Structure 1
Amino acid sequence: MTQLWSPNTILNLSQDGRCVGHAPSKGRKCLTPIGYDNLKRVVSEIATQEPDADLLRSKLRCMAQHGLCRRYHQYQVDDMVDKWTSRIRAAFPPPPPARRMHRHADRSVASSRASSIAPRSVASVSSSRPEHSEIQTLQETIAAMQETIRVAQRQLERLQYTSPSESSLSRVDTDDISTLRLSRSSSMQSVTTTRSETIRSVAPTAPVRSTRVETPAATRAEEHTPRPIATRCSRTHVRRLPVDEECAICYDEEHLSERAPEDIVWCKSGCGKSVHRECFEAWQASCVQESRAATCTHCRTRWVDECAC
């Protein structure tokens, strides 16, 4: 079909095969690669339709879902649709009502003349095209809604996976850990005693020498060997805050509590808040390139060296 306008120019699309969203923490466009073929297909379809912002809104939403990266910026779909809609209205302002009615009348007269001159077969083909386009539009709208449902389902599964018991266990103090170890040792000794008594009760009646049950050497060693005591950090720093929020550098949808402990670092000299290790290492590298000391992205205090805690 004939191209009626250029969406790449009007909507300011970069066509670099990367996410069309904006990275707030970086202050620039997102550089995450995307599947550009799907975005290119939707742009080509929009170029063959009238540049009407209201009629193209569902197409623009589908284009935003294909153009934004799945990991970080799917939440910007509505913002991108509003921005593109404003650019279309600015480039193609709607005509006055009188002019719009006059243009509609001219189109009606022209279409009636063409239908009277053209054969019936051509008329049937031209009438089937809008129906096919409408079916395709509805199919893409349904696909976009299904994708939105899948994204919401994944977010719900993440929230359900993080149970209250896990978050409460992550806040147990070091003093409580020693208490738990003592109770575990007592439970193990009671289980060993019960097991020995059970063996004595099941054994057949025989002289005293044959009924003696020897406790395995491994069990005795396990009962009397002291367990290592966790050492506290000797450095003085602020208390670490709970990791029940998102990273303040990349603003990922998942909470920091869903990551492994070794994937998270936290500010020990200022606010006590945590961020992704990979995000902070990128920030630290940029500070080194600019010949300045790395600071916390929350409170801007100087970042101290890591310790064992």
Structure 2
Amino acid sequence: MKNTLLLCICLLNTIATVNGQDNNRLEPVQFYSGPIAIDQLKGVIQISPDGMPRADFSIDLNNGSDKEDMAAFGFRGKDSQRVSLRAKQSSSLKAEPAMRRSGEQGAVQSAVFDLLLYANNQLVSQPVSATDIQVVLAPNIQLIRANMAYERSSNQSGETVLRFTARKSFPTELVLVYATDGVGLTIEKTFSKTPVLAKDKIKVTLKITNAGKNKLDKIVVEDDYDSRDFKGEGPGFSEYSGKENDRRLLYRTEIPVLNPGESREVSFEITAQFDIKHVTLPAASASSGNRLLGVSNKIKL
């Protein structure tokens, strides 16, 4: 487990350089292995009409040992809070993750929340038992993409509520891309068959809904696959060869117009070259006038 975590941290650039001098020398990652565990990470993120996020998080802790212990918990890059717990005692503390925001006012913006958890300035080595994060979007905010699976609902105020949950996980970051002018599409991507075995013919369906308040014209829908894994024939298909080992099967079509609240399904067929296992396929996307309007869920095989 620690080796897996170490790989993740390397990818996220969390290993510090020694004394800030030699970029080629890396300090070993230190893991917290004390008795205090994180039972639950809970959070509410509210995105205001101008796109500004406000986050309120809490960390539920539990000392499952027979001895009292003390440790300081918090998110990476933020102040930690010290807590002392007697044997079998639980407690909760408030915390705020670091956040990066970018984009244009009145157009597409993004917010990235760093959810890596530390104890005594060491990476927490045990998984978080439960993660429950709610994102509340103002009525004019339209989600374009999130990097985690979520459930969507709405409240009495007309706000969209996204709920991200996980069990026995290591939270890393939550990425939200959204439009502040109410222009956007939702895309639901489905496969007709899973698991996918060699020579299986798979019908891919993209359900595209105009979730905004404006009519959208000339919507370009695109999807792509590794051409070593899948092949496709017919209108809309093409192949792309880039750098070494970068060969893609591309699918592209256009929806002439989509009114507010209207949905359209786009379907095409691909054939598996081999058994496809242990892979997450790319998301489909939709754009208009070079502006990204929506990104689908990813299919995990």
TM-score range, shorter chain: under 0.3
Tell me which protein shows more helix as a share of its residues.
Answer: 1
Higher relative contact order (CA 8 A, sep 6+): 2
Normalising to structure 1: TM-score of the pair? 0.17
Normalising to structure 2: TM-score of the pair? 0.17
Mark the structure with the bigger radius of gyration.
1
Tell me which protein shows more strand as a share of its residues.
Answer: 2
